[in-house]
Each structure stands twice: as C-alpha cells, then as structure tokens.
Structure 1
Amino acid sequence: MPDLSSDSVRNLLADFKDPETGRSVTQLEQLHDVQAADGKVAVKLGLTSWAAILRDEVTQHCRDFLAERLPAGTDIQVEAVEHDRPAEPIGQIGLRAKNVIAVGSGKGGVGKSTVSTSIALALSKAGSKVGLMDADVYGPSVPHLLGTDDRPTAIDKRLQPVEKDGLRVMSMGFLVPKEEAVVWRGPMLHGAITQFLKDTDWGDLDYLVIDMPPGTGDIALTLSQLLPLTGAVVVCTPQEVALLDAVKAIAMFRKVKIPLLGIVENMSYFLCPDNNKRYDIFGTGGARAKAEELSVPFLGELPINIGIRQRGDDGQTAGNLTDQETAQGFEQIARQMVRNIARQHEQAPAMPSLPVL
C-alpha cells in the first residue's frame, strides 16, 4: 500500500477518469485540492456542469476507487466542486455544444416531444447548460409543451433563442402562426435546420437536445452532415406495430452513422390511482426486448400518466421534473443516457485541444 500523502493520492487518481472526456482528472487539472494526513484523505474533485446529473455517483465512485487502493480504515472524503471547461466549436457551423443528442421515433403519437423536452429539463434541473431545438418543422409542439409563444429576437443578425424553464429553445413554432401549415420540400427543410443551428446564438452548451420529426425523413441526414452528433435516443411504445417503426428509426440512425444512446419505452403501463393496480394497456416490455435483440441500450420506461398529459396540454411540462410521481422516471432516463455517453468517452477519450497558432 502506498504511503498516505497528498502526492501518493494524486498519483493514484491519475488513473481516475473524468466522465466528460474519458481522460485522467490529473491530466485535466481537475484535482482542485488533495489533503492527506493522520489516516484521513480529503479530495476536492472538479467536475464540469456537463457532469451535473452524475455528480453524486462520480464522487462516490472516486471514494470507492481510493478505498480499494488506500489502507483499510482510511477516512476518505470527496467533494465535487465546479470546474469550468467551455465547449469547443464543432462541425462546419461551429456550434459550441459538448454533446448533440437527437431524439427520434419511427412514428408519431408516441410521446417523443414530451420525452425530448423532459430529458432536456432534467439535465437543466441538475445544473447543465442545455439547449432544446424543435426540428419537427411540420408539427412543432415544443412551444406548447413549455407554455411559451415568445418570438426570438435578432442581435447582430443572429437569432436569440427563447429562454424558458432554464432551457434555450428554438422552434419553427415561434416563427409560424399556429394555424398555418408549413408546406416545404426537402431543400427548404435543410435550410431551416441549418439556420436554426448556424444562425442561432446558442451560447456555450453542455447539451443540445434535438426533437426530431417522426419517421425516417431526411433531417437526420442533414444533421449528420452539419455536425458530429453524440448519439440518438429512440422513443417508442410497447406494442408490436410501434416497435416495427422504431426498428426503422434505429436502422436510419445507423445508416447515417449516428450512435444509438438508447431506447425509451413510453406509455409502458397505467398505474390506477384508485387501487394502485398496474394495467399493461399496450403490452409491456416490448421495447426492452427489442433493445436487447438489436444491441441497443435500454434507458427506461415511462407510464401512461394523467399528470404528464395534463401538464403538456397546459404548457407546464417543467412540472414533470417537480412532481414526485413523474420526476424520478425522467431523471433516471436522462442519467442513464449521460452514463452511456460517459462510457463512450471512456472507450474513446477526447483528444486535447490544439493551441491556435
């Protein structure tokens, strides 16, 4: 066993990985303070806002990591502190976002926009900097779900996203009257999505969540050409007819080389408030089984819930993350998704930024 000293603890932590980058926390100067004396170790571990939703488990993992390597009985304290690391520009449009996540579905009506919005809200609630882009040009529902009809303003020819419930939001629903239909061909769609990404002043983001249109249209191809997507989440319901379409969505993402972060089974069951009995209205477990069959991570299941529906209708979707009955499900899905991203980073650590000459 190594001597109990600050230097020896730092040397041990050279093998502890930052979840955001997959690189050593000592390499990235994330050990803000290390004290070791008299059988006690105290570490201040710097974590960025990207890792906010994993903060507690990363600090516990760090404690366990040290406990396995230090003398038995050592008193180990690990405190997470803020560590600033701005996003680097990515893609041909120079978007400053650490991760871009597409949320799609094979068909409409499965709750994709509700899941997209609630995942973004869960990440923001944890402390991350989050943007939400409604790419469902034909049926933009994010403005209604968030209860805002604000219009984005322009500063120096750049659109300013609407800020609502801690999110930076952009949607065609802000630009087109509710009663008007968008009747566009593919090139116009490509132009709109490009403008939303390139000409919107998103600022510095940890996550940009993109609510995709249903089906397997060409917006996924547009996105894959514009910037490197971290991955995709596919939302479906348990019944076989919905799973058939979800399989097509998975095939689409794979064809355009967008990694799959996981599947969410929405409307998985109904828990009757009168007798607390569970009813599998659309069947159950279909998405989990299909995920296993296709070697795609399963992120979790969400129930048919009157509160979720009502809050969506009332423009109060943010309440999904404050209602004890629903918050846990959405938070667990967002957390598992970020864990899967961190696992990707661990397997392929990010390269350090090169100095500008």
Structure 2
Amino acid sequence: MSDAVLTRENILKVLDQFLDPELGRSVVNLDQVQDIKIAPGRVTIQLGLTTFCAPLWDELAQEVRDLVRKNLDSAVEVEVKISEFPRAAEKLGQIGLKAKYVVAVGSGKGGVGKSTVAAVLALGLTRAGCKVGLMDADVYGPSIPHLLGTEERPTLYEGKIVPIVVHGMRVMSMGFIVPREEAVIWRGPMLHQAVQQFLRDTDWEDLDYLIVDMPPGTGDVALSLSQLLPVSGAVVVCTPQELALLDAVKAIAMFRKVNIELLGIVENMSYFVCPNCGTRHDIFSSGGAKKKAQELKVPFLGEIPLNMAIRVRGDEGKLVDCFEDPVLQPCLSALCKNLVRQIVEKRRASPPLPSLSIL
C-alpha cells in the first residue's frame, strides 16, 4: 500500500480493534490514543495504558505495531510509546476494598512454597509497575513478614490500619501483630473476623492487584474470602510429585466450588540444576503439575526450580534479590507475565460490565 492510506482517520480505525487490556473495550472509545504522528514511511503512536497491565507493555506495543502493519502498510516503521493512563479502582463487594483484581494463592497442603510464590508474584508485579497489595491470610503460620525481611508493626490513622510498605507494595499480616514465638489459637469465627478486618479496616489505597496468601488446605479462609469480596481468580501452587498433586487437585476443586476462577497452576521445586556440573536432576519428579493442569483444563503458569538462592534469600528476608539472580530472574518474571497474560485474555474475551451509580 502507499503512504496515502496512512491517515489519522485510517490509523484510528485500525486501533479501534485494539482492546484495552484492563476493560476489554476499544482504546479509541476509551480515549487512550493520546497522539498520532505521521511522516513518510513512519508512524508514531502515543498510547495510554493503565499499570494494571504494566508487565505486558512491551508485548502490547508490539501488538499495536503488528496491527498497523497488517492492516495499512507492511513496510511502514511504527513506533509505539506507552505512558500511564490513570484509572482508579472501583470498590469491590460490601467490604469496600479498592482493587481491580484479587488473586488468591493457595495449595492443598503445606510445604510446597505457597507463601514464597505469593510473595514472588507480588514483588514481580510491583517491580513491573503495578500497584500491589499483599495480604497474608495464613493466620496460623504467617510467613510473609519473614520472607520480606520486616518486623515493623502497623499503625492506626483515622480509624484505619496503615499497612507496612515493603519494596513499594502495601503488606498486611498477622505476623506484624502477634509476636513470632506466640501461636494463634482461634476457631473459625475469629478467623473470619480477622480476614474481614484485614480487608475492611486496612488502608490499602488504590490497587491494581491484591495478592492473598491463603493458608494451606481447604478450610475457613477460602469460604470467608468468597463471602466477603469477589475474588477474581486463584493460583494453585504444588510440587511435581504425585502425592502433592493429589492435594493440589483438592485445592482446585475447592476454588471451583466457591466459584473462584482458576488462573493457573505453578510447579514449585520443579527441578534442580547442579551449580558445579550443570546437570539437571528431577528430585521431586518434573512436569507433573503441567500434565495435571492439562487434565483439569487449568492454565499452567510456569516452573520454579529447586534453587538454593531462593531458600537462602527467603531465610534472610531478601526474597526480592531473587529478581537480580541470572538463573531465577527469567522464570520468576515469566511467571508474573503469564499470570497477567491470563487475566488480560479473560478480560478481553469477557469484558467486565461498567458499574452504574444509582442516584
């Protein structure tokens, strides 16, 4: 095609096909196309996107480039500049939490690295530019404070709990309130009340994602969360061996029973690569979670290797440093991107309905 087709009007018609990753509607209709510059053989598009999809900005820019070349001029050079398009989160459910998406991270049993994966997801999304909160709902065994290396105590301001800010994300845990050596001995109603207070009375501000570290098993917390607010989706963590997969299947069944959509399965401690000889060892078997995900028609989000650096940095409260590790960084970043990719695909396939205010 000739450069004559490269008009602002034609480019806008093409961009009308590009759906906003958060709302699943045309970026043209949402006024997110901020500028278009046309020069001989070159088009520059300034596009506004929310931080909700920040981990995928590079991929989304490529999607726009491909769209313009395919529909207008395959030879044209297309530059896509993405800047933040502010859009506040709406309140979720009766609890009034302002978050665009709530991700519950669970497992059918303990000891599979669920809290580590929850913290990794929260850290990875924050580092990519998302506004993230991390809630430790594992009241009986809160691990998040230790993994993040903080022992601060939350304060109160104007009747709200001020969460601890760690590495740019807002964090709340029973571990900030109860001394490390003391046990929490509560029955179901008290557990429900604690979860409710963490959600309702904490000043989470305006979040893209609230990551909830669930306790292991299929008990009260999942029921409480499903009753208190619309949890958007769940991630199930397991290790590759058959015994762990049996419990992971139960966790998947639990989330489905309370109508929480499955975003995917993560296989933790997937394999071990010897640092001396480079040989791969499948200590707990390998690929079991991916196979089970296919059987249950659940997305597979990725593998995390059995790596000493995760254990050492977790014990030191420096889990965030794993994102600087040349071995771990690619798989951890891919895990976060795969999670957001699943969410964006679902949003685009079934856009959330706009809220209507009743006067």
**Bucket of the pairwise TM-score, normalised by the shorter protein:** over 0.9
* Amino acid aligned to 2:26: S
Residue of structure 2 in register with 1:207 after alignment: 209
Matched, 1:62 2:70: no
Question: 1:227-242 alignment to 2 at 5 Å?
Answer: 227-242=229-244
- State the alpha-carbon separation in 1 of the partners of residues 332 and 270 from structure 2: 13
Displacement after TM superposition at 1:353 (Å): 4.0
Displacement after TM superposition at 1:36 (Å): 2.4
Displacement after TM superposition at 1:47 (Å): 1.0
Instruction: Determine which of 38, 41, 60 is the counterpart of 1:39.
Output: 41
Please give the per-residue CA displacement for 1:246-286, whole angstroms capped at 9, x wherever unaligned. Answer: 00000000000000000000001110001000000000010
Residue of structure 1 in register with 2:21 after alignment: 19
- State the alpha-carbon separation in 2 of the partners of residues 54 and 335 from structure 1: 7
Match of 1:137, SS state, is coil
Match of 1:181, SS state, is coil
Matched, 1:138 2:140: yes
- Amino-acid identity (%): 58
Question: 1:206-355 alignment to 2 at 5 Å?
Answer: 206-354=208-356
Of stretches 321-330 and 291-300 in structure 1, the one that deviates more from structure 2 is 321-330
* Amino acid aligned to 2:176: F
CA contact (8 A) 1:104 1:249 kept: yes
Residue of structure 2 in register with 1:100 after alignment: 102
CA contact (8 A) 2:53 2:344 kept: no
Displacement after TM superposition at 1:355 (Å): 5.2
CA contact (8 A) 2:61 2:82 kept: yes
Displacement after TM superposition at 1:38 (Å): 2.4
Residue of structure 2 in register with 1:76 after alignment: 78
Please give the per-residue CA displacement for 1:274-323, whole angstroms capped at 9, x wherever unaligned. Answer: 10000000000100000000000000011110000000101111111122
Count of matched residue positions in the alignment of Structure 1 and Structure 2? 357
Displacement after TM superposition at 1:356 (Å): 6.3
Match of 1:324, SS state, is coil
Please give the per-residue CA displacement for 1:221-241, whole angstroms capped at 9, x wherever unaligned. Answer: 111111111100000000000
* Runs of 4+ in structure 1 over 4 Å off: none
Displacement after TM superposition at 1:351 (Å): 2.4
Instruction: Determine which of 154, 170, 173 is the counterpart of 2:175.
Output: 173
Unaligned runs of 5+ in 1: none
CA contact (8 A) 1:90 1:97 kept: yes
Instruction: Determine which of 149, 152, 173 is the counterpart of 1:150.
Output: 152
TM-score by length of 2: 0.97
CA contact (8 A) 1:146 1:315 kept: yes
Displacement after TM superposition at 1:347 (Å): 1.2
Displacement after TM superposition at 1:15 (Å): 1.2
Of stretches 5-14 and 200-209 in structure 1, the one that deviates more from structure 2 is 5-14
Match of 1:45, SS state, is strand
